[in-house]
Amino acid sequence: MALLLEQMLNGVQLGVMLFLLAAGLTLIFGIMGVINLAHGSLYMVGAYAAAFVAQATGSFLLAIPAGLAAAALVGMTIEFTVVRRLYARDHLDQVLATFGLILFFNQLVVLMFGRQPMFVQIPPAFAGAIDLGLFSYPVYRLCIIAVGLATAGALFWLIQRTRLGMLVRAGATHRDMVQALGVDVRLLYTVVFGLGALLAGLAGLMSGPLLSVQVGMGEQILILTFVVVVIGGLGSVSGAFAGALLVGIVDTSLRAFLPGLLRGIMTGSEADALAGGISAMGVYLLMAIVLLVRPKGLFPAHG
Amino acid sequence: MDKARGSDPMKKSGSPRWRGFLPLVGLVLLVALPFAAQAFGQSALTSLATRMLILAIAASALNIALGLGGLVSFGHAAFYGVGAYAVGILTTHGASGMPFLGFVPGSEHLAVNLLVAMSVSGIVAGLIGALALRTSGVPFIMITLAFAQMLFFFFVALKAYGGDDGLSMRRRNALPGLNMRDDVTFYFTSLTILLAWLGVSARLFHSRFGLLLGGIRQSERRMQAIGVPTVRYRWLAFVLSGVGTGLAGGLMAVFGRFVSPDMMHWTQSGELLIMVVLGGAGTIFGPVLGAFALIGLETLLAGWTEHWQIILGPALVLMALTFRGGLARLGRSEQGP
* CATH number, domain B46-329: 1.10.3470
CA-CA distance, B285 to B279, in Å (whole number)? 8
Distance CA(B196)–CA(B190), nearest Å, equals 10
Cβ–Cβ under 8 Å, residues A292 and A284? no
Closest Cβ–Cβ partner in B66, B139, B146 for A284: B146
End-to-end CA distance of chain A: 43
Residue A187: name the closest of A170, A173, A167 by CA: A167
Q: Which residues of chain A have pLDDT under 70?
A: 302-303
pLDDT of residue A249: 93
B149·A82 Cβ contact <8 A:
no
pLDDT at A145: 93
> What are the residue ranges spanned by the domains of chain A?
2-214
Question: Would you state the pLDDT for residue A302?
Answer: 60
Compute φ and ψ for B102, nearest 5 degrees.
Answer: 90, -15
ipTM: 0.83
Alpha-carbon separation of residue B35 from A131, A207, B48 (angstroms)? 75, 55, 14
Spatial distance between the Cα atoms of B82 and B96, rounded to a whole number of angstroms: 21
Contacts of A287 in chain B (CB under 8 A): 143, 146
CA-nearest of B3, B82, B75, B88 to B38 is: B3
Residue type, position B67, single letter: G
- Cα-Cα end-to-end distance for chain B: 31
Instruction: Return the pLDDT at B1.
Output: 36
pLDDT at B24: 86
For residue B121, give the nearest of B234, B235, B248 by alpha carbon: B248
Residues of B with CB under 8 A from a CB of A: 66, 72, 74, 131, 134-135, 137-139, 141-143, 145-147, 149-150, 153-154, 156-159, 163, 266, 270, 273-274, 277, 281, 307, 309-310, 312-317, 319-321
Q: Which helix (H) or strand (E) holds A129?
A: strand A129-131
Minimum-distance CB partner of A273 among B74, B145, B157: B157
Coil vs helix vs strand at A211: coil
Phi/psi for A129 (5° steps) reads -125, 160
Packing angle of the helix pair B183-206, B230-256 (nearest 10 deg): 170
Shortest Cα distance, chain B CAs vs residue A34, angstroms? 9
What pLDDT sits at residue B84? 96
Within A58-210, where are the H helices? Answer: 60-81, 91-113, 139-161, 163-173, 175-180, 185-207
Question: Are B153 and A277 a contacting pair at CB < 8 A?
Answer: yes
From the list A102, A107, A292, which residue is nearest B131 (CB)?
Answer: A292
Distance (Å, rounded) from C-alpha B286 to C-alpha B63? 9
Q: Are A299 and A234 in contact (CB under 8 A)?
A: no
What residues of chain B score a pLDDT lower than 70?
1-17, 330-337
The confidence score (pLDDT) of residue B15 equals: 52
Instruction: Say what the pLDDT of residue B61 is.
Output: 96
The minimum CA-CA distance between B139 and chain A, rounded to whole Å, is 6
Q: What angle do CA B310, B56, B332 make, to 5 degrees?
A: 85
B68-126 pLDDT, tens per residue? 989 999 999 999 999 999 999 999 998 887 888 778 888 888 999 999 999 999 999 99
Residues of B in contact with A279 (CB under 8 A): none
What's the confidence (pLDDT) of residue B13? 43
Please return the burial class of B41, using the count of CB atoms within 10 Å of its CB with bins 0-12, 13-18 and 19+: exposed
Helix and strand element counts for chain A (H, E): 11, 2
Among candidate residues B54, B49, B103, the one with its CA nearest the CA of residue B83: B54
Spatial CA neighbour of B111 closest among B234, B46, B196: B196
